Amino acid sequence: MPFPSRRLRGAIAAFGSALMLTAIAVGADPGDAQSAAKPSTQTAVAVFAGGCFWCMEPPFDKLPGVKSTISGYTGGREADPTYEQVSAGRTGHTEAVQVTYDPALVSYEALLEVFWRNIDPVAVGRQFCDVGNQYRSGIFTADAEQQRLAAASKTRLQASGRFKQPIATEVVAASRFYPAEDYHQDYYTKNPIRYKFYRSNCGRDQRLKQLWGPARQ
């Protein structure tokens, strides 16, 4: 029997996808902070897994310098996996987000900071209400520099003494990233009521506050 939270997400997503054919995604307000820096034509890509990908897009989207986020699947063995296959735990993949950003405006270290504060780093084989290896947390590095920075940030977090348990988040070389189905993309803007219902029932914000304190504005 599938875990109840997966049934809840599946029902919410299926109902929302039927309405999305006529929905218009709401664009994120980039804020005034970008006006102080000059954008470049250079882009870089980072991939992070923090449980439900619906919930991992918003914190990166609102960060100045981030150009886009894509929900998808990575770290497994199945080619072209579907949501049903991944959420059932049959592929080895985990839900993840691919972040495209301008390194002249936001650093990889800043992305790492946002990542850590939006996950439960000591949870093993789960994130919040979503249970299973398909919801494990991870940092999937594109090159040696990302690997060095990600590993160093994990080491610092463990040495900080904030957590008694070991940091469970994996830091591994990126493999192929498969974008999720269209109805999963920008779900929090296209289906805000259903997104908030899921997030609230999952207890994500309560656990994040317990781990990290009040959310940063």
Give the pLDDT score at 6: 56
Q: In the predicted model, is pLDDT for residue 75 greater than 60?
A: yes
Is residue 52 among the annotated active site residues? yes
Q: At which residue do the structure tokens 């199945």 appear? A: 78
pLDDT at 38: 66
**Number of residues written out for the chain:** 217
4-20+42-209: CATH architecture: 2-Layer Sandwich (3.30)
pLDDT band at 39 (very low <50, low <70, confident <90, very high): low
- pLDDT category, 9, cuts 50, 70, 90? low
pLDDT of residue 41: 75
Return mean pLDDT, the chain.
Answer: 87
Q: What is the pLDDT of residues 100-136, one digit of tens each?
A: 999 999 999 999 999 999 999 999 999 999 999 999 9
Domain parsing of the chain, residue ranges: 4-20+42-209
Pairing of strands 44-50, 94-101: antiparallel
Given the residues 52, 55, 129, 202, select the one marked as catalytic: 52
